Structure 1
Amino acid sequence: MTLPILYSFRRCPYAMRARLALASAGIPCELREVVLRDKPAELLAASPKGTVPVLVAADATVEQSLEIMLWALSRNDPEGWLDMPGEGHALITQIDGPFKSALDRYKYASRHTETDPAQQREDAALILLDFDKRLAQNPWLLGPRPTLADMATLTFVRQFAMVDKPWFNAQPWPCLARWLAAFLASGRFTAIMTKYPQWHPGESATLFPPPSSSF
């Protein structure tokens, strides 16, 4: 049987969350690591937008990371990530929308000279402070176990934290910091962050996920 193909880039937070869902679902695929400055023609043929992740399966080509997560988990959800209240989707929308917008203008300030990066950082921080209050009640955003709301947002919080680690570590969000640290220390995170060489046509397939990718 032909495996789905996942075009991915290791450090991209969108690709990271797609890999998280595929690992949780235990859906084997062929991973093709892309170098963004040298995109393969096969990726562009499958998805002219030319960004990752892209999943090419027998029944569909899925071009957005959250849709890849839902595609995988709708087929197999052994950890119950989709079992969450509606507010979980609202949290994901908040991170994908205003938080990511502020993060981009903070992290890539030279590309967004029309905005003040310090103000953008503060705008993003206000959202994270609300997350910290929520995490003061439970180890995960919606209760005692992780759901899609956690796994679809943590990779972007990680990206934000890495822009200026000393500043991030000095902020008054101990519960958020604990949540992020637990994720980064997990076997699942380690498994999805394996380094793979750039994919070239004709090479042996790289199978994903690795055999051991649990929390």
Structure 2
Amino acid sequence: MTLPILYSLRNCPYAMRARLAIYKSTIAIELRDVVLTDKPTAMLAASPKGTVPIVVLPSGQVIDESLDVMLWALSEKDPNNLLLSTTENLDEMLVLINQFDQEFKQALEQYKCAKRYHESNLVQYRQACETYIQQLEKRLTTYKYFFGDQESLADIALLPFIRQFARVERQWYLQSPYPKLKQWLNRYLQSPMFTKIMTKYPLWTEQSDQIIFTEKK
């Protein structure tokens, strides 16, 4: 059987969220780990912009935006109802995800650069990120996850970026006034799911053996 192909990069947050959704969907795909400094010809042929994740379906259709990959995977199979189909919250989740993709991600990049280059405005950039972190803490004060006591698309879509935020100033983060967020993040980072989606595989070449990525039930 011909499987969908996922071109992925282990530590890229966008590729991580794609793998998270695919894992949660339990569908099987062929995983091709790449590095962006040596992009395979087959990957560029599928999507000339050359960013990950890229999914190539057996039909030849290409999906090369991380959120679209997540929605595709969970529309194929959503055993845990991460799309919250019974509560019709998808639009609201997409608004939150878009806010973090467009606004929080920009603030996070500035924060990371300020830490890396020892800039004097580190605290200012951290506080810009905290505006969004506080929103999540408020949600988690009421519920276990961002949209209730049930895990959703929003949780796994934001996870890679919250992980990045927590790693910028590790000591500050551990002492930060966000106990619910820290609990939420730890639950994910210590899960078998996270171990699986962060497994290191050999880089893909045309001669590589096929690597099947899926959650076995």
| Alignment root-mean-square deviation, CA | 2.1
Q: Which amino acid aligns with 2:71?
A: L
Question: What displacement does 1:110 show?
Answer: 8.8
Q: Does 1:198 align with 2:203?
A: yes
CA deviations over 1:109-146 (Å, ceiling 9, x no partner): 4999x994432221111110111011011110111110
Task: Mark the runs of 5 or more structure 2 residues left unpaired by the alignment.
Answer: none
Q: Is the 8 A contact 2:24 2:215 kept in 1?
A: no
Instruction: Name 1:68's counterpart in structure 2.
Output: 69
Written as runs of structure 1 = structure 2, the 5 A alignment for 1:113-128 is: 116-128=121-133
Residue of 106, 130, 138 corresponding to 2:111: 106
SS at structure 1 position matched to 2:149: coil
Q: Is the 8 A contact 1:20 1:192 kept in 2?
A: yes
Instruction: Name 1:44's counterpart in structure 2.
Output: 44
Q: Quote the sequence identity (%).
A: 47
Return the TM-score normalized by structure 2. Answer: 0.91
Residue of 167, 181, 199 corresponding to 1:176: 181
Q: Which amino acid aligns with 1:105?
A: Q
Instruction: Name 1:7's counterpart in structure 2.
Output: 7
Instruction: Name 2:17's counterpart in structure 1.
Output: 17
Instruction: Name 2:58's counterpart in structure 1.
Output: 58
SS at structure 2 position matched to 1:21: helix
Q: Which amino acid aligns with 1:156?
A: F
Q: Is the 8 A contact 1:103 1:124 kept in 2?
A: yes
SS at structure 1 position matched to 2:142: coil
SS at structure 2 position matched to 1:37: coil
CA deviations over 1:178-213 (Å, ceiling 9, x no partner): 11111111121111111111111121111102536x
Change beyond 3 A, Cα 1:64–1:117: farther
CA deviations over 1:8-36 (Å, ceiling 9, x no partner): 01111110110011111111111010112
